[in-house]
Structure formats: structure tokens, C-alpha cells
């Protein structure tokens, strides 16, 4: 399909674009005129009006104009030049950390300036650091900008002025030629989407009468038009991936039920209805001739492991191996213990593989895996290294999928793949994914939800308490431990640095050992050796420790039913999903459990809101929706690392209402593979990574 001439015109056709500039543009993924035209402003500055100084708030950005009242060098923490500027409504300071003597001399009292910059609160009240400024003549009216000023995403050595000039030139080409409209006319009309060319030129140079608020918020029809097409491209790409997988054959696992039945008989509890339903959905998938791709969402403690075991047993009944992968060694080990306890009585062999397993022992496990002696293999991502070969891998179970990036998810499909077939895949997550996100980020997966907790659980009581009452909290820990309960004490830090976080936990552990000298206190953090960590966890689980001080490493999956109190320090620093995961470590036994969220005052508005959500509900799905609302999809999915949902225009939160339509349109054009490929190509282009598997 012809994606329009502009898609084939290299940027070098523009005047002044030589090799150096071409390289810089390449860094922005701009190779063609079409790329340049799709390189849309991140935001706009409003330089169309002059704001009264008296009306400014920190965080505002805008044009001001006033008279210099004084310019002084102040010493403070850094030497700086402070220029006081006044209009009829108020005064503001312009602060320069770098300045010349000539500059200072030019900013004499009485001079009129027009400035642009971001307003912040400084030592002297409202300030602008290094504003753009120029002298103006107060006797004539100097015109302001006539349209919103676009601010483009850029790279080193390429400034906004240059990018504006380049897009100006590209827009000239657009007037003469065109970008190919990829959404068929009748669908565009049906959904009231403006033509592509109009939308693109509008967004580069919004006219004077543009609805600026709408544009700044990203709700303009032109933006929505492009967001729509982009979401459509992502959707189609995941769909394509899904179809590709479906075309592959899969191991047939018509299980005869012999192991599953024995397993269920020996379980000390009956399955919940939700577990039965999901197990049946999986069972059906496994008996299909194409690979299962199913995401099981179930709140913490909903009993996903049993469901995974049933799937593994069906694979074994069909004569295949099953691999179960967990994101951390602690968790993998726990699964290994569970699976061994469950499956060995059935006469099955479970192998174990993790990074820490070395030498002969590792060799022995590897041999069991390749010979097929072990029917089920549990481990960390060590399972998917080159040295590991399976005899007959038929099912891959990935637990706690959030910790694995999308790319890892796709890489897994490769393991155990032969010419004829690809293994079934089951992904389990305890972090509920809001529906809007499943519709987009996970459109290639089928979804099951375990929406019921096993009976007999008492919901965790959550208390929000200031750290000024730390002494009371410590007393409460003592009381609980004296009664034979076990307690988690979780330390958090806002810094990304794991080292600092571990340090903080070490300090806290020392303090608590002093304050609670009669208790047995342990410490785990991410910088300890896996063997050390495992040893501490094991003795906590065996109730040889009363209190476990930890960083957020314990967030995922650890199961110690006797632990019924959790203290979380500075919970305001964590996302809701993470808090929910942490809290899920208690409330696993039959005694009443408590979670104390010990915040550091003052709380921000958002912090307060988050903590009260935690107090009000233990429903993981509600918490996930709220998390999405408060933090946005990038944070919720953790896609920063995976780089997956890097949208150019769309914003899943803002544009979530488009998704239903996107899905419909995707259905309407699905049959036209040339068209769908062109749409995918335009938006995901050269790095259509996750559609190539």
C-alpha cells in the first residue's frame, strides 16, 4: 500500500537539512517528512496574552511585562542576580545564576521588560529562574504571539526554534501533497473524525481562535483524531500478534483428569467457585489445537497457585512438561515447596532452577529437565536461559506478570517452540489491571478473573497514623508479638536507590532491636545475598522470628499466615497497587489482622486521598482503578522500563473512552490486511517489536 508520498520523502529534501541535522533527527526517529509531521508538540505555551503579575501562581507559565525596580547580586547558597519587576498588580523576582556585568547594567531601574518563564516559589516570594526576556518600549504596544507556541519533544543540540522552522517547511509540503488517509471515509464520518491532514496541520500551528484550554488538556478533536488512530494501530498490532499465535499449532492436552482428580482430593479445601470457573476456562484452552494466551487476574490471596497447579497437571496428563516461573527467588522457592508437596504424592517429579543454584546441583536439575524425568519445573527467569532445554515443554505459567516486561512475556513464548507448535501460556497477576488497560495493553490475551477470596478470611483493618505516634506503634508491635503473632515492618524511601532503601531498613532494624530487646527481630532487603534472604524468610516462616524488618522486597507473594500485623513506614511514597500488594502479606490466617500506615506529615492532597482509599477498601480492582486515576497508566503498568506503551499522542487515561470505538473500528477493517498493516506501520513503524513474534 502507498502510504503517501510524504512517507517516502526523506527529511533531507528540506532546505538546510544536512548530514549533521539528519543524524539528530534520526535520534528522534524522524527519517521522512511524514515522521516529521507526526512529531507533534508535547504541549503548547500560551504567549498570546500578558498575565498580570498579581494573578500568578507557582507552576504557571506565561508572559509578563513590567518595570525593573532594582537589580542586586545576592549571596545565598549560590550567588545570583535578582531583578525585581513590577507591574500595576504586583512584584516578582527574576533570578539569574549565570549573568554578565553587562547584563546587570542593562537591567537598570526604569527599564521595561517582557518575560516568559515558569513561576515558582523562591526565597523572596514568586520568582522566575532565567526567564526569556527582552526590553520593550512602554510607549508603544509590542504585539504578543498570535497562536499557541508549540513545544516539541527534542534531543540535544536541536532547539525549539529549529524544530519550528523544520515543521514549518514540512507543513508547506503538506499543503502541496498529503499524508495518506488510512481510516476509510465512511468510518471517519460515522465516528466524526476530522481528516488527517487537517488535524496534523492544526496541531502544529493552532490558530488564534483555537480552543486553547481544550488543546492544552489534549481533548481537541484534532488530537483525539490522532490519538484514535494511534490506539487503533496498537490494538491492531496486538491483534495481529494474537492471530499469528493462533495460527501456530499447540500441544494437545486433552487431559484424562487422573492427576487433577487425585490432586483435588488431597487438597485440604474445596476450590472456590471462582477458582473452578477459571480452572475450567484454562482447561478448555489447553484442549484446543492453538496456543492458549490467558491472563488470570486474582487479588492477593485469591488462590491462583492452585489454579496454576491444575493447569500444570493437565499438561502432565497430556504427556508434556509445565514450567512455572516467578519473578523472585523467594517466590519461586515458595512455589517449589508448594508444588513439591502437592505433586510428589502423585508420583510426579518437580525440578527447581534459580540463579543461586550452582555446580553439580544445577547440573542435576538441568538433566532432569532435558530428560523429561521432571514433569514440572519451577524457577526464576533462570528457566529461560540458553543452557536450559526442555524435553517436551507444553505449558508456561508466569506468576506475577507485572515484574516481567512485555518483551520477556513474548520471549517466553519462544521457549519450547518447535516448527509445528508453540507452548500454551498462562500469565497470573495479583495486581489487578484496570479494564481500560486490559483492553489496550493486553489486547492479545484472553482474560480470566478470580473474583472471590477463599472463605474464612477476615479483612485486614487498615489504620492511618502519623509517625509522631511512633512510640504507640512500637508498643502495639510488642503487644502483638507477646500474643504470639508475627509482625512485618516495612521501610520505604522515595529515592530510586536501592542502597539507600536498604540502609534505612538497617537503621530501623537497629532502632527496633533496642526498643524491643525482648523480641527476635530479623531483617531482609534487596542487597542481601539470595541465600541470606531465603534463610531469614525461612526462619520467619518457622516462627523463629517475631518481627521482620524489610524493604519492599517482600511485596510479592510471600505467604506467612501467622503474620497478622504490618507497619508500613511512609506509605505516602508508594503507589496504591504496591500498598495493596504489601498489605496482602497479612490477613492470610484466621486471626484478625492490622495494617498500620504510618505517614509523615504533612500529607499532600493526593497522598491523603491515596491513604484513605487504602483505609476504605481491600478490593484490589477498586484500588487499581483509583491508582490509574491518580497516577496514570505509565506508572501503573510499570511500562517505563518496558518501553512498551510509549504513545506519541494518545494517553490511555484521558482517551480511555475511545477504546470501545477503537475496538469496533478494528473489527470493521480487520479483513483488509494491507490497510491494517499500513496503520500499524505508520504508528509503530520501524520498531513494531511486539508484533514480530
For the bound state, the minimum distance from the C-beta of residue 300 to ligand ADP, rounded and expressed in Å, comes to: 5
Our CB check for ligand ADP shows the closer of 302 and 365 to be 302
Stretch that binds Mg ion, among 447-455, 557-565, 603-611, 621-629 (CB under 5 A): 557-565
Stretch that binds Mg ion, among 21-29, 36-44, 460-468, 551-559 (CB under 5 A): 551-559
For the bound state, the minimum distance from the C-beta of residue 334 to Mg ion, rounded and expressed in Å, comes to: 8
Check: CB of residue 247 under 8 Å from CB of residue 290.
yes
Whole-number Cα distances in Å, 673 to 5, 141, 227, 659, 681: 21, 58, 21, 21, 12
- Per the structure block, which three cell numbers stand in for 604? 499532600
Closest-by-Cβ residue to ligand ADP is 303
For the bound state, the minimum distance from the C-beta of residue 428 to ligand ADP, rounded and expressed in Å, comes to: 7
Our CB check for ligand ADP shows the closer of 210 and 556 to be 556
Q: Please choose which of ligand ADP, Mg ion, none residue 272 contacts, taking the beta carbon within 5 to 8 angstroms, the exact cut-off set by kind.
A: ligand ADP
Our CB check for ligand ADP shows the closer of 300 and 680 to be 300
Applying CB under 6 A, which residues contact ligand ADP? 269, 271-272, 275, 298, 300-306, 430, 454, 559
- Please state the length of the chain: 693
Binding mask 121-160 for Mg ion (x = CB under 5 A): ----------------------------------------
Q: Please choose which of ligand ADP, Mg ion, none residue 301 contacts, taking the beta carbon within 5 to 8 angstroms, the exact cut-off set by kind.
A: ligand ADP
Q: Please choose which of ligand ADP, Mg ion, none residue 275 contacts, taking the beta carbon within 5 to 8 angstroms, the exact cut-off set by kind.
A: ligand ADP
Our finding on whether 557 is near Mg ion (CB under 5 A) is yes
Our finding on whether 301 is near Mg ion (CB under 5 A) is no
Q: Please choose which of Mg ion, ligand ADP, none residue 559 contacts, taking the beta carbon within 5 to 8 angstroms, the exact cut-off set by kind.
A: ligand ADP
Nearest-angstrom CA–CA distance, 216 and 282: 45
Closest-by-Cβ residue to Mg ion is 557
Number of residues binding to Mg ion, judged by CB under 5 A: 1
For the bound state, the minimum distance from the C-beta of residue 576 to Mg ion, rounded and expressed in Å, comes to: 19
For the bound state, the minimum distance from the C-beta of residue 587 to ligand ADP, rounded and expressed in Å, comes to: 10
Our CB check for ligand ADP shows the closer of 485 and 682 to be 485
Our CB check for ligand ADP shows the closer of 434 and 587 to be 587
For the bound state, the minimum distance from the C-beta of residue 571 to ligand ADP, rounded and expressed in Å, comes to: 20
Q: Which residues pair with 132 in a beta bridge?
A: 116
- Per the structure block, which three cell numbers stand in for 448? 480470566
> Which residue's entry shows cell 484496570?
434
CA torsion through residues 123, 125, 130, 136, sign? negative
Nearest-angstrom CA–CA distance, 646 and 643: 6
For the bound state, the minimum distance from the C-beta of residue 338 to ligand ADP, rounded and expressed in Å, comes to: 8
Our CB check for ligand ADP shows the closer of 239 and 338 to be 338
Whole-number Cα distances in Å, 661 to 33, 183, 225, 439: 29, 13, 12, 11
Phi, psi torsion values for 290, nearest 5 degrees: -125, 160
For the bound state, the minimum distance from the C-beta of residue 631 to ligand ADP, rounded and expressed in Å, comes to: 23
- Per the structure block, which three cell numbers stand in for 393? 515443554
3-state SS, residue 76? coil
- Per the structure block, which three cell numbers stand in for 298? 486474582
What is the DSSP code (8-state) at residue 518? T
Our CB check for ligand ADP shows the closer of 1 and 267 to be 267
C-alpha of 561 from chain center: 30
DSSP letters along 174-200, please?
Answer: HHHS-PPP-S-HHHHHHTTPPPHHHHH
Our CB check for Mg ion shows the closer of 4 and 557 to be 557
Q: Please choose which of ligand ADP, Mg ion, none residue 298 contacts, taking the beta carbon within 5 to 8 angstroms, the exact cut-off set by kind.
A: ligand ADP
For the bound state, the minimum distance from the C-beta of residue 272 to ligand ADP, rounded and expressed in Å, comes to: 5
- Verify cis geometry, omega within 30 degrees of 0, for the bond prior to 148: no
DSSP letters along 10-24, please?
Answer: BGGGSTT--HHHHHH
Our CB check for ligand ADP shows the closer of 110 and 455 to be 455
Q: In 183-291, which residue ranges form alpha helices assigned H by DSSP? A: 185-190, 196-204, 212-217, 221-247, 258-266, 273-286
Strand 61-74 versus strand 112-118 pairing type:
antiparallel
Stretch that binds Mg ion, among 24-32, 359-367, 477-485, 553-561 (CB under 5 A): 553-561
What is the DSSP code (8-state) at residue 272? P
End-to-end CA distance of the chain: 23
For the bound state, the minimum distance from the C-beta of residue 519 to ligand ADP, rounded and expressed in Å, comes to: 25
User: Helix 273-286 and helix 304-317: axis angle, to 10°?
Assistant: 30
Binding residues for Mg ion (CB under 5 A): 557
Amino acid at each position: 500500500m502507498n502510504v503517501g508520498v510524504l512517507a517516502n520523502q526523506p527529511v533531507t529534501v528540506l532546505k538546510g537539512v544536512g548530514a549533521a541535522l539528519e543524524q539528530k533527527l534520526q535520534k528522534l526517529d524522524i527519517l521522512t517528512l511524514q515522521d516529521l509531521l507526526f512529531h507533534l508538540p508535547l504541549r503548547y505555551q500560551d504567549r498570546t496574552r500578558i498575565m498580570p503579575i498579581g494573578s500568578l501562581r507557582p507552576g504557571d507559565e506565561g508572559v509578563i511585562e513590567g518595570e525593573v525596580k532594582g537589580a542586586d547580586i545576592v549571596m545565598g547558597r549560590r550567588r545570583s542576580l535578582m531583578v525585581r519587576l513590577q507591574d500595576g498588580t504586583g512584584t516578582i523576582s527574576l533570578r539569574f545564576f549565570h549573568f554578565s556585568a553587562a547584563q546587570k547594567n542593562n537591567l537598570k531601574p526604569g527599564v521595561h521588560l517582557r518575560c516568559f518563564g515558569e513561576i515558582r516559589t523562591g526565597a523572596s516570594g514568586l520568582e522566575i529562574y532565567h526567564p526569556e526576556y527582552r526590553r520593550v518600549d512602554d510607549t508603544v504596544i509590542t504585539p504578543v504571539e498570535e497562536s499557541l507556541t508549540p513545544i516539541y519533544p527534542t534531543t540535544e543540540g536541536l532547539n525549539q526554534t529549529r524544530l519550528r522552522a523544520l515543521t514549518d517547511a514540512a507543513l508547506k509540503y503538506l499543503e502541496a501533497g498529503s499524508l495518506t488517509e488510512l481510516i476509510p471515509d465512511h468510518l471517519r464520518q460515522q465516528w466524526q473524525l476530522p481528516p488527517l491532514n487537517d488535524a496534523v496541520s492544526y496541531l502544529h500551528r493552532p490558530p488564534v481562535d483555537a480552543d486553547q484550554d481544550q488543546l492544552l488538556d489534549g481533548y481537541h478533536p484534532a488530537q483525539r483524531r490522532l490519538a484514535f488512530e494511534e490506539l487503533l494501530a496498537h490494538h491492531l498490532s496486538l491483534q495481529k500478534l494474537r492471530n499469528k499465535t493462533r495460527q501456530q499449532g499447540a500441544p494437545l492436552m486433552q487431559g484424562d483428569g487422573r492427576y487433577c482428580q487425585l490432586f483435588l482430593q488431597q487438597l485440604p479445601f474445596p476450590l472456590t467457585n471462582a477458582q473452578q470457573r477459571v480452572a475450567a476456562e484454562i482447561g478448555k484452552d489447553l484442549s484446543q489445537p492453538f496456543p492458549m494466551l490467558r491472563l488470570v487476574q486474582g487479588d492477593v490471596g485469591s488462590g491462583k497457585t492452585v489454579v496454576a497447579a491444575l493447569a500444570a497437571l493437565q499438561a502432565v496428563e497430556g504427556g508434556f512438561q509445565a514450567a512455572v516461573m516467578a519473578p523472585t527467588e523467594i517466590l519461586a522457592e515458595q512455589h517449589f515447596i508448594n508444588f513439591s508437596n502437592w505433586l510428589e504424592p502423585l508420583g510426579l517429579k518437580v525440578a527447581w532452577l534459580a540463579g543461586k543454584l550452582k555446580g553439580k546441583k544445577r547440573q542435576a536439575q538441568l538433566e532432569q529437565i532435558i530428560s523429561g524425568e521432571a514433569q514440572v519445573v519451577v524457577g526464576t527467569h533462570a528457566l529461560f536461559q540458553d543452557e536450559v532445554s526442555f524435553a517436551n515443554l507444553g505449558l508456561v505459567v508466569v506468576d506475577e506478570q507485572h515484574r516481567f516486561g512485555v518483551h520477556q512475556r513474548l520471549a517466553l513464548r519462544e521457549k519450547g517452540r518447535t516448527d509445528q507448535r508453540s507452548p500454551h501460556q498462562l500469565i497470573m497477576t495479583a495486581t489487578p489491571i484496570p479494564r481500560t488497560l486490559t483492553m489496550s495493553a493486553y489486547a492479545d490475551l484472553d482474560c480470566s478473573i478470580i473474583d472471590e477470596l477463599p472463605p474464612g478470611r477476615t479483612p485486614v483493618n487498615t489504620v492511618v497514623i502519623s509517625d509522631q505516634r511512633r512510640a504507640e506503634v512500637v508498643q502495639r508491635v510488642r503487644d502483638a508479638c507477646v500474643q504470639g503473632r508475627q509482625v512485618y515492618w516495612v521501610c520505604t524511601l522515595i529515592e530510586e536507590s536501592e542502597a539507600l532503601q536498604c540502609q534505612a531498613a538497617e537503621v530501623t532494624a537497629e532502632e527496633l532491636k533496642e526498643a524491643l530487646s525482648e523480641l527476635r527481630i530479623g531483617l531482609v532487603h534487596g542487597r542481601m545475598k539470595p541465600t541470606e534472604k531465603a534463610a531469614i524468610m525461612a526462619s520467619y516462616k518457622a516462627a523463629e522470628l517475631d518481627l521482620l524488618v524489610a524493604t519492599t522486597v517482600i511485596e510479592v507473594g510471600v505467604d506467612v499466615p501467622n503474620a497478622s500485623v504490618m507497619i508500613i513506614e511512609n506509605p505516602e511514597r508508594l503507589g496504591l497497587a504496591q500498598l495493596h500488594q504489601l498489605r496482602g502479606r497479612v490477613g492470610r490466617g484466621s486471626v484478625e489482622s492490622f495494617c498500620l500506615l504510618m505517614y509523615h506529615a504533612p500529607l499532600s492532597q493526593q497522598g491523603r486521598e491515596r491513604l484513605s482509599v487504602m483505609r476504605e477498601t481491600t478490593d484490589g480492582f477498586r484500588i487499581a482503578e483509583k491508582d490509574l486515576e491518580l497516577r496514570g497508566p505509565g506508572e501503573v503498568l510499570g511500562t517505563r522500563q518496558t518501553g512498551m506503551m510509549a504513545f506519541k499522542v494518545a494517553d490511555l487515561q484521558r482517551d480511555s473512552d475511545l477504546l470501545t470505538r477503537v475496538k469496533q473500528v478494528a473489527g470493521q477493517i480487520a479483513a483488509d490486511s494491507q490497510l491494517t498493516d499500513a496503520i500499524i506501520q505508520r504508528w509503530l513503524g520501524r520498531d513494531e517489536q511486539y508484533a514480530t513474534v
